[in-house]
Amino acid sequence: MKKTKILVLITLLIIAIIGMRKLDINLRYNMGMYDYYRYNTTLTQEEKDLLQEKHFLVGVYNDPPLAFINKFNNHNAGIMVDYLSQLGIELSNNIHLKVGSQDYLRDAMKSDELDIMVMENTNENKKEFGLSQSLCVVKGKIFVKNSSSIKELEHLKDKTFVVLERDNEGGRINKYFEDKINVKILEVDNIYQCFALIRNNIVDGFVGDDMEIAHFLHVTNRGTGFRALELTLYEKEMCLAVKKENDYLLDILNKGIIQLKKKNLVAKTQYKWLGNFDTDVIDLSRVELAYQVFIAGISIIAIFSSWNYLITQRVNTKTRELSESKEELRLIIDTMKNGIMVIERDAIIVECNDAVTGITNIPREDLIGANYKEFEALEPFVNKENMNKLFNVGNSYYYVTSQKITRNKSMVIIEDYTEKYFNEKRVRQESKMIAVGQLSAGLAHEIRNPLGLIKSYSYIIERHRINEICDHAIVVINDSVARINKLIENLLRFSKLSNDENKSVNIENLLNLILELEEKNIEQNEIKMITSITGKSSKEVFINEDVLRMLLLNLLNNSIDSFKGVEREEKKIYIRMNIEEEYLRIEVIDNGCGIEKEKLENIFNPFYSTKENGTGLGLYIISTEISNNDGKIGVESNFGEGTKFDIVLPIKE
């Protein structure tokens, strides 16, 4: 009991440490644990070489204090400018900046004039560009005078606030208030007008980006006269964007960004531009000591728990060594799932558990006190040649070990290894199947390269044709290339690993694809294919495409193989599909050799095959996949006449 409690405490402690670490990473670096450990690494040699070869041009849109052009020296300035300069130093790369409007910079990105651009993390931008980890978060805040009585959302009723016209584009700020409380919004062109209106008590406060307001208050030394409400209207997560085809740059940028945050450069830069204004950026220097004290405390607890656990383990070990009484042995072996026999003087069975009686079908009372040599069923389990190795008895597999208890007592442990054996065999076979799929995909790609050359040179030859024979040759070449390319596409599609994803599938197209793949095999065996799709008029269904493709291909191949050595006036395979509201019913019928009745009940068992060179996994895998997808599969067969498989798969919503 104590051991269990200690293990539970250690487990809870580990979970607490992981949870605290996750929270700590999120607070410090505004990212998840996975991204942190992914990007908290040094640059690869390939990434370093890329940085040496190329200097990046980064676009930053004109939005003080994030970025602007200093009117006094015509230099780029701002929080983002400082971030990017520090990022260039961190990556040992000379980053060049270009400040302009958002529309201009987006057009420049699309035309490859820019490599990188500062951009807000939105769903629309994610669709068009690859976005890095955030550099900073701009929040929509309400600023009022320190003397103002406004503190909560309820206090805003019937108040008037000023906003910059560009911040209220599309009525974004109006929309926030219109469903919550009656607030009047006044738009102006620049921030100086905002504070002039507040100073003259024409409006009650200013609504806008916290960094822009904080920067203005900092540079005009007005910070002590205003405060921000805790309420946050919106958040804009500012990231670095690259084109989708250049997303390899994101790893480099994210590695640099995390180093900026670890060195506390983000907080220091914001302090430079915003003063003491709280932007919720964690100053790592302030929390480092508390974090180290916490880690030290956790470590002491972990060391103490481990020491206590080790001491408990040693005590329990000594206790078990002293426990040799018959009653204790009996309690132990009765709780074991493996078969256990205690043998005295290498002959007499003095104890056994229920598992032994289940394995041998010999009552326990007949075994206790008897010589094991009297029972033929026990011979494989006490044979010294079978000790410490895997062997089979009938269709079951066992692993037997023997351990000395005392000088003249030993314990024989019989482990039923049947399930493990078949699982390991299945894993090995599936690994081979995966390898074959990968090899097929690789081969398909290799064929595509020379195929592209043939297509290109065919186009060149076409421009210089001189007679009808050349025209015909070019048509034949192009048709052949198209056919090979279509076969390659099918091969690539069927080499993909299956998954649990349900998606919209065109049943007719999938069936035609499989028939095209097996076309040569069908023609060689002179088989007539008869297919039909009935039910709903729409052939698009939401279903697991991989499972559907797997079962159709497997059952079709089995039907084709059933005609080997069978004489038929006309060989036929029927594939019928009926699409209902909630399920898809599939029937695969052939007039091949059929399956013997005594073998029919075993065809879905692993490694059971009626084919000479079959693996015995095909029907087992598809029946398992169908079951995992809440479907059903049934079979009817008459030996010498043919076989019918009936499958029902649910259609997901």
Instruction: Identify whether 301 is part of a domain.
Output: no
CATH of the domain at 620: 3.30.565.10
Say if residues 414 and 337 touch (Cβ distance below 8 Å).
no
Q: Does 608 lie in the same domain as 585?
A: yes
Q: Does 342 lie in the same domain as 439?
A: no
E strand or H helix at 292: helix 284-322
Q: Residues 220-255: pLDDT tens digits?
A: 888 788 888 888 888 889 899 999 888 888 888 888
586 band by pLDDT with thresholds 50, 70 and 90: very high
d(Cα 285, Cα 261) in Å, to the nearest integer?
Answer: 11
User: What phi and psi values does residue 160 have, to the nearest 5 degrees?
Assistant: -120, 130
Residue 309: pLDDT over 50: yes
Q: Does 637 lie in the same domain as 527?
A: yes
Instruction: Identify whether 214 is part of a domain.
Output: yes
E strand or H helix at 276: none
pTM: 0.43
Instruction: Identify whether 52 is part of a domain.
Output: no
Q: Does 463 lie in the same domain as 551?
A: no
d(Cα 614, Cα 561) in Å, to the nearest integer?
Answer: 11
Say if residues 275 and 214 touch (Cβ distance below 8 Å).
yes
- In 3D space, the residue among 253, 284, 289 whose CA is nearest the CA of residue 267 turns out to be 284
Q: What is the mean pLDDT of the chain?
A: 81
Domain span holding position 623: 519-650
Q: Does 468 lie in the same domain as 407?
A: no
Q: Residues 150-188: pLDDT tens digits?
A: 888 888 888 899 999 888 887 878 888 776 678 888 999
Instruction: Identify whether 62 is part of a domain.
Output: no
613 band by pLDDT with thresholds 50, 70 and 90: low
Q: Does 529 lie in the same domain as 481?
A: no
d(Cα 153, Cα 186) in Å, to the nearest integer?
Answer: 18
Quote the tokens at residue 301: 């607890």
Say if residues 98 and 60 touch (Cβ distance below 8 Å).
yes
Q: What is the dihedral of CA 562, 565, 570, 574, to 10 degrees?
A: 0
Instruction: Identify whether 26 is part of a domain.
Output: no
Instruction: Identify whether 409 is part of a domain.
Output: yes
Q: Residues 353-372: pLDDT tens digits?
A: 888 888 888 888 888 888 88
Instruction: Identify whether 368 is part of a domain.
Output: yes
Full DSSP string of 104-119: HHHHHHHTTS-SEEEE
Strand partners of residue 164: 188
Last residue of a domain, one of 479, 494, 509: 494
Q: Does 533 lie in the same domain as 583?
A: yes
The secondary structure of residue 44, as a DSSP letter, is P
Q: Does 470 lie in the same domain as 407?
A: no
Higher confidence at residue 197 or residue 474? 197
Q: Does 525 lie in the same domain as 463?
A: no
The predicted pLDDT at position 644 comes to 93
- Count of domains forming the chain: 4
Residue 589: pLDDT over 90: yes
Q: Does 531 lie in the same domain as 472?
A: no
Q: Does 426 lie in the same domain as 335?
A: no
Instruction: Identify whether 35 is part of a domain.
Output: no
User: What phi and psi values does residue 113 have, to the nearest 5 degrees?
Assistant: -75, -25
Residue % of the chain over a pLDDT of 70:
87
Residue 497: pLDDT over 50: no
Q: Does 242 lie in the same domain as 360?
A: no
